[in-house]
Chain A
Amino acid sequence: GDSVTQMEGPVTLSEEAFLTINCTYTATGYPSLFWYVQYPGEGLQLLLKATKADDKGSNKGFEATYRKETTSFHLEKGSVQVSDSAVYFCALSVSGSRLTFGEGTQLTVNP
């Protein structure tokens, strides 16, 4: 079945540090890939997405590139802020009707 594996957390960084959160996937079809973010006490917000190989999704300084050859969709940001502290989820969708999520990575950014 479909699955998503994220790097183990939690991740603690200082403000302005470089962020990478690894994500790899297994899918029976040709999935679309997503990163969602969850702030404390809130639901999930779509951060970025990519629908085909070599697509780069980007939003709010975050980027991720759909790598079919390595089945990966790593999230990066060049300079994190305290306000980026949240839980980040990598997810895939093959049919469009359901998402398969990874277990999430807790990010804490210290001033």
Chain B
Amino acid sequence: ETGVTQSPTHLIKTRGQQVTLRCSSQSGHNTVSWYQQALGQGPQFIFQYYREEENGRGNFPPRFSGLQFPNYSSELNVNALELDDSALYLCASSLVSRGAYSPLHFGNGTRLTVT
């Protein structure tokens, strides 16, 4: 069974730039969620995708956007980067069936540094 994989592992961007992070979900899973983990803190929910549509969003501005593709992989896009966007971005996948969710499986994350 293939786990959740994320790319790239590390990324350095300049304030104001745009970034795209990628995630391949675990085989058999049909939902993808993204979390932001600032240094020394717990992960914060950004949004979740199911059937290629956003299915819940946390307290993040519209410059955070995403996509889910037919193969259940996903992208997280962040526009107009700010210094506070520096964090570990975690992707997680799960299987939803008949309204019930399996536990989330997380990737190893992408470390984004904004300078």
Contact = CB atoms under 8 A, between A and B. Distances in A.
A46 B45 contact: no
B4 A102 contact: no
Nearest to A100: B45
Interface of A: 4, 34, 36, 41-46, 49, 89, 91, 93, 95-104
Contacts of A45: 106
Residues of B contacting A: mostly: strand
B25 to A, nearest CB: 13
A98 B107 contact: no
Interface in B27-52: 31, 33, 35, 40-45, 48, 50
Contact of B101 (A4, A46, A91, A97): A97
A4 B42 CA distance: 10
B101 A96 contact: yes
Nearest to A42: B108
B104 A99 contact: yes
Contacts of B40: 103-104
A54 B48 CA distance: 30
A37 to B, nearest CB: 11
B43 A101 contact: yes
